[in-house]
Each structure stands twice: as C-alpha cells, then as structure tokens.
Amino acid sequence: MRFISKYPKDAEDCLAYTKKLIEQKKTIEVISKTERTPKQNKYFHLILGMVGLEFGYTSDEVKSDFKIMNSDIFEYEKNGRSYSKSSAKVTTKEMTIAIERFRKYYAENGFYIPSANEDKMIEHYLKEIENNKQWL
C-alpha cells in the first residue's frame, strides 16, 4: 500500500494499517520515497509524445534519448557494468532538471516544447498524441 504522509487522512490510515500488521505479526518494510508528482509524470509523457510525433520516433526511443541526454541522473554502475535507472526512480527535483535540459536542447535545435503551464499548447498536443498514439 502507498500512503502520502503529507495528507492527514493518509497518515492516519497508514498508522492504522501498520498497527493491524503488527497485531498480525507480519513483516513490515518501510520505504520513504520522493518521486515525481502525477502532474510532472503526465507532462513528462506528453513531451516524449511531442518529440516522437515531430521527429518520427516511438515514445521508447525518445525516452532512451532523454536518458542519454541526462546520463548524470539516469546512469549508474554496479559491479563494473553500466545501467539505466527507471524514470520512476528519480526525484521530482532530478526530473525537473532533466526536463529543462531536454526542453533547452530541442529549443536550441528549432523545436519548442511548451512549459507545463502553457495550457493551450499542452491541450493541442494532448489531442495530437491521442489521435496518433498508434505511431508512438
């Protein structure tokens, strides 16, 4: 189960659920997460789709380029081998940095990616992506 402790109801539910598990003598693992917000996640997938539509790439291909462009955030080594982190594993702050680099790169190369608060352009691209999702 996932609880977001900044919400009082979630914090209360978490404590009740944990108490129940303790009473049942269950093993409990607690993981603290700082991850991107749902709005940031939606925007991230939108910009992947925008670039894919514009340049003829799939979302997976654009995501791969995104990670390469932000290798300091996504790449790590283990036992002498290089790996790529899932985008779900980066923090809100890291994702913000990565998205801004991505936007800057495309702006410098003639393709403007609107910021997350440019509602009219965002709405336009959401419709375009929905109409062309079979190609992404």
Tens digit of pLDDT for each residue in 57-79?
999 999 999 999 999 999 999 99
User: pLDDT band at residue 33, thresholds of 50, 70 and 90?
Assistant: low
Asked whether the predicted pLDDT for residue 20 surpasses 80, the reply is: yes
Rounded to 5 degrees, what are φ and ψ at 75? -90, 145
**Res 11: pLDDT:** 86
Would the pTM of this model clear 0.85, i.e. be above it? no
**Res 64: pLDDT:** 96
Query: Which helix (H) or strand (E) element contains residue 107?
Result: helix 92-108
Asked whether the predicted pLDDT for residue 128 surpasses 80, the reply is: yes
Encoded tokens for 112: 């403007």
**Res 80: pLDDT:** 95
Asked whether the predicted pLDDT for residue 9 surpasses 80, the reply is: yes
CA-based nearest residue to 95, from 39, 31, 30, 32: 39
Q: How far is CA 23 from the centre of its chain?
A: 36
Tens digit of pLDDT for each residue in 83-123?
999 998 899 999 999 999 999 999 999 999 999 999 898 89
Asked whether the predicted pLDDT for residue 32 surpasses 70, the reply is: no
User: pLDDT band at residue 2, thresholds of 50, 70 and 90?
Assistant: confident
